[in-house]
């Protein structure tokens, strides 16, 4: 059984990103890609913290990845 080292690095990047900021990473997320803003943060606060926040539903808000 083979191992995909790129996938291991991607998972570690996602874990570090979600630990640093109130975000979640969507399926097939790549570093620098759009993220899902945590429901613990209001939309107003998300717009202050993140760039290009899009609210599809009150519980589903995408934003550009923080730098």
- Confidence (pLDDT) at 58: 85
CA distances (Å), origin 2, targets 5, 7, 38, 65: 10, 12, 34, 31
Average pLDDT, the chain: 91
All residues at 6 or more sequence positions from 37 whose CB lies less than 8 Å from its CB, including other chains: 22, 23, 43, 46, 50, 53, 61, 62, 63
Show the domains of the chain with their CATH numbers.
5-63 (3.30.1020.10)
pLDDT more than 70, % of the chain: 97
Residue 1 has pLDDT above 70, yes or no: no
- In terms of Cβ atoms closer than 10 Å to its own Cβ (0-12, 13-18, 19+), residue 13 is middle
Q: What is the pLDDT of residues 26-44, one digit of tens each?
A: 998 999 999 999 999 999 9
Is residue 63 a contact partner of residue 51, using CB atoms and an 8 Å limit?
A: yes
Q: What is the pLDDT of residues 3-15, one digit of tens each?
A: 788 988 999 999 9
């Amino acid at each position: 059984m083979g191992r995909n080292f790129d996938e291991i690095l991607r998972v570690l990047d996602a874990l570090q990103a979600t630990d640093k900021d109130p975000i979640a990473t969507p399926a097939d997320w790549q570093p620098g890609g759009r993220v899902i803003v945590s429901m613990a943060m209001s939309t107003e606060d998300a717009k202050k913290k993140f760039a290009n926040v899009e609210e599809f539903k009150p519980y589903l808000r995408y934003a550009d990845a923080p730098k």
